[in-house]
Amino acid sequence: MRIVMARINHETNTFSPIPTPLSAFTPLWGEEAEAAARVSNTAIGAFHAYARAQGAEIAVPVFAMANPSGPVADDAFEALAGAVLEEVAKGCDIILLDLHGAMVTQSFDDGEGELLARVRRLAPGVPLGLALDLHANLTDDIVSNCDCIVGFKTYPHIDMYETGEHVTRIIDGMVREGLRPVNAWSHPPQFAHTLSMNTTQDNAMSALIERAREAETAAGVLAVSVFGGFSLADIPTAGVSVAVTATREDTARDVAADIAREVWQRRDELVFREEPLDISIAQARRVAEEAGGAGPVLLLDHGDNCMSGGTCDVMDVLEAALGAGLDGIVCGPINDAAAVEACQAAGEGAEITLKLGNKIVADGFASLPPLSVTGVVEALGEGRYTVSGPIYTGQTFFMGRAAVLRTPQARILIVEQPHEPWDAGVFQCLGIDPFAARFLILKSRMYCRPVFEPRASAVIACASRGVTSSAYELFSFEKVTRPIFPLDEGANWS
């Protein structure tokens, strides 16, 4: 048995000014890709374990992930897709793909659908299993060009490996038992905010995921996935959808439609309505006073969230916190290569005034002046650390060169590229204990939570004018199918 598997992962924010060349994926090829897949705590890691258990010949042409950013460059997409197609063309018995489901390229609104259609043309009869992110934007091309679809059921995503195992169970049934699954999907006309998708909370998304789990226990139902979608991709089918893999077409269609109706009924609960920033800052002050040092107040700058395509250089939240007189602040990582260079040139211990952030401006967004901050260069170094878990456990990340500026109110971590605070190591690699802060400002929305939330006295979502804002009125949607809720309050569906 020969099994081809690959991981290509990108969530595209079509409003983001951050480019996505091939280098953004830091792709691994061939033997290096296979080695990464073997130890990865993601869907492809489960694929690899399954293939080893079968004694199969394993081909991993590419293992690639880029942080969310703007549309993927055409040459990058062709290189990644070409590697997969080259291995499939050699012949195989199973194809297992670990994709995101919200990739937009310069030429294709549906990058995954284009890749899957090409793979299907090369290998029309080969069992093809697909693992997708909970934030996938489904399309007909995705659904019709694979044998099964399984999406993550957690956000933050801590079930990536388990999702891959689910895919392999279905595919194994095809190979060993002659199972012939079929897919169906339903797509109510609605966006869901990512801040309303936290499955660690008692909310509508958690209830819908539980509904999907219950549906999977019914006879003939192999997989049920509720996709919250990624609304900052301006493509026709962006938004919420439900996918079902079953043994009968009518079963798959009926289950998908039934759960989609429940999604639509709860559409108001999937909308996040942000508070004005000054109210959030005032709330943070009150909570800190009441907590009395029981842990930092976690301020999440979700409008400039790296893992949704943010530039990580919008200064709104830090500026508001400083202006309100908050102190004991730890903030970062701020993406500003010029500021890092200035700190490097000044050297540790030097006092320096920086013009920080607000330097990367997206089309349609106002240009704001950088934030002037004066402080001492406390630390310089390489922004490299290893994640302790539970997301991407053991994986080493690099933020570029890094510097810490200490001001009377704050310690600010500045790096050379946008970066998600996956782990306390983001700060610890430069000598900062984030849990000793009074206020901890992170450019994050959800992925920081498994590490930072348990030790925080409170978590407060803070609005900013970045390209990942929850205020959809900031964005000019041109391609998405209208009407769609909540952009269009009068949207209807039955």
Do 132 and 113 form a contact (C-beta atoms < 8 A)? no
Q: Which residue has the tokens 């693992």?
A: 131
> 395 pLDDT exceeds 90?
no
Give dist(CA 43, CA 26) in Å, integer: 18
**pLDDT given at position 58:** 98
- Closest by CA position to 447, among listed 480, 423, 474: 423
- Using DSSP's 3-state secondary structure scheme, residue 199 falls into coil
| Average pLDDT estimate for 375-383 | 97
Say what the pTM is. 0.93
2-270 folds as Rossmann fold (3.40.50)
Q: Provide CATH 3.40.50.2300 ranges for the chain.
A: 2-270
What is the CB neighbour count within 10 angstroms for residue 446?
23
Give 136-163 pLDDT, tens digit per residue. Answer: 999 999 999 999 999 999 998 989 999 9
Do 486 and 289 form a contact (C-beta atoms < 8 A)? no
| Average pLDDT estimate for 112-137 | 98
Give dist(CA 111, CA 89) in Å, integer: 20
- Closest by CA position to 201, among listed 442, 443, 420, 446: 446
Share of the chain above pLDDT 90, in %: 93
Q: Cis peptide leading into 450, omega within 30 of 0?
A: no
Give 191-243 pLDDT, tens digit per residue. Answer: 999 999 999 999 999 999 999 999 999 999 999 999 999 999 999 999 999 99
| Average pLDDT estimate for 363-392 | 92
Q: Which residues pair with 182 in a beta bridge?
A: 246
> 389 pLDDT exceeds 90?
no
- State the alpha helices, DSSP H only, in 239-352: 249-265, 277-291, 316-323, 337-346
Give dist(CA 198, CA 209) in Å, integer: 11
pLDDT band at 393 (very low <50, low <70, confident <90, very high): confident
> 391 pLDDT exceeds 90?
no
pLDDT band at 252 (very low <50, low <70, confident <90, very high): very high
**pLDDT given at position 174:** 98
Q: Which residues pair with 128 in a beta bridge?
A: 95
**pLDDT given at position 64:** 98
- Top-confidence residue, 79 or 294: 79
> 281 pLDDT exceeds 90?
yes
> 66 pLDDT exceeds 80?
yes
- Integer CA distances (angstroms), 164 to 41, 133, 144, 205, in order: 10, 11, 19, 21
Give dist(CA 313, CA 400) in Å, integer: 15
pLDDT band at 293 (very low <50, low <70, confident <90, very high): confident
- Using DSSP's 3-state secondary structure scheme, residue 241 falls into strand
Do 156 and 450 form a contact (C-beta atoms < 8 A)? yes
> 130 pLDDT exceeds 80?
yes
